Amino acid sequence: MAVIWGIPYLLIRVAVRQLDPGVLVLGRTAPAAFLLAPLVIAQRQLPTLWKNFTWIAIFGIVEFGVPWYLMATAERHITSSLTSLLICCVPLFSVVGQRIRRTEGAIAPRRYLGLGVGAVGVAFLVGLDLRGGTITWIAMMMAVCLGYTIGPIILATKLTHVPGPTVVMGATGFVALCWIPWDLAHWPVHVSGETWSCVAVLSVVCTAGAFLVFFELIKEVGATRAVVVTYVNTAIAVVLGIVGLHEPLTAGILVGFPLVIIGCVFATGSREVVLVS
């Protein structure tokens, strides 16, 4: 899961050189919906889709429709490395959401310590890397984090009985339809093969395939701990940004990233440690 979600930041950074962010959202969602439609039909899940369409549509909006537009817009102005690092706020947001919803019992003091350390790490990331972006783009990424926090909660509370392919097909199809009017007015004149290749991987691997895996992960470990994949996918994204796009290894990354990781481990970790050999 972490590997699959570690590569989109680089691909988005390349794609938005030629594509409007709204066009990129359509390019990521429409093919995924078409690919999954035969599977949903074969499994006779269309009645389930219509019965749960309201929550599926809401999930699509908060997980795909709005966050992906904001992220692609932000990546036109800040590096893919900083973008991925800011996504580290998702596990921290999840713990706050858990506290508000009062799920999984009382929150241990170590989790509050983790929230504090993680917040300091994010402050270093933002404060030391402001030359790579502005408050506007960072605020957009915080909105993305909020959507990424709400999405798994919807899956874990409202859509647990709906098969993963049905949710992804319905959500991506709905989002794609919503973006068509905008994209008709912002369709590019010329798009290179490299850009289309990025869009194809984003849609097939990082959307259709990724969320099928993510649903199973949520069933296994719960919504709060499922977002812990952010730790590893961020590291992958930073390495790809530095190596593939020649992005700088900044002071913000060197100081803030370790603090965010430590904070997230404390904030989302369980009291028991299980060793698997």
- In this predicted structure, what is the pLDDT of residue 257? 75
So what's the pLDDT on residue 275? 31
pLDDT at 102: 62
Please name which of 55, 22, 72, 35 lies closest in space to residue 212, comparing C-alpha atoms. 35
Whether residue 32 contacts residue 208, with contact meaning beta carbons closer than 8 Å, is answered with: yes
Would you state the pLDDT for residue 228? 65
CA atoms of 192 and 200, how far apart (whole Å)? 13
- How confident is the model at residue 276, as a pLDDT? 35
CA–CA separation, 46 vs 93, rounded Å?
A: 33
Nearest to 129 by CA among 41, 251, 19: 251
| Burial grade of 46 (CB within 10 A; 0-12, 13-18, 19 or more) | middle
- Given the structure tokens 């900083």, which residue do they identify? 82
List, as one string, the DSSP characters of the chain.
Answer: -TTTTTSHHHHHHHHTTTS-HHHHHHHHHHHHHHHHHHHHHHTT-HHHHHHTHHHHHHHHIIIIITHHHHHHHHTTTS-HHHHHHHTTHHHHHHHHHHHHHT-SSPPPHHHHHHHHHHHHHHHHHHHHTGGG--HHHHHHHHHHHHHHHHHHHHHHHHSTTS-HHHHHHHHHHHHHHHHHHHHHHH--S---HHHHHHHHHHHIIIIIIHHHHHHHHHHHH-HHHHGGGHHHHHHHHHHHHHHHS-----HHHHHHHHHHHHHHHHHH--SS-----
Distance CA 241, CA 6 (A): 10
pLDDT of amino acid 221? 74
Whether the Cβ atoms of residue 154 and residue 18 lie closer than 8 Å to each other: no
pLDDT in tens, the chain (277 residues): 878 888 999 999 999 999 999 999 999 999 999 999 999 999 999 999 999 999 999 999 999 999 999 999 999 988 887 888 788 777 778 777 766 666 555 556 776 777 677 777 767 766 665 554 578 888 899 999 999 889 988 988 899 899 989 999 999 999 999 999 999 999 998 999 999 999 999 999 998 888 888 878 877 777 666 666 666 677 778 788 888 888 777 777 777 778 777 776 776 665 443 333 3
Whether pTM exceeds 0.85:
no
CB burial of 250-268 (b: ≥16 within 10 Å; e: otherwise) equals: bebbebbbebbbbbbbbbb
pLDDT in the model for residue 124: 72
CA neighbor of 229 nearest in space, from 217, 220, 241, 239? 217
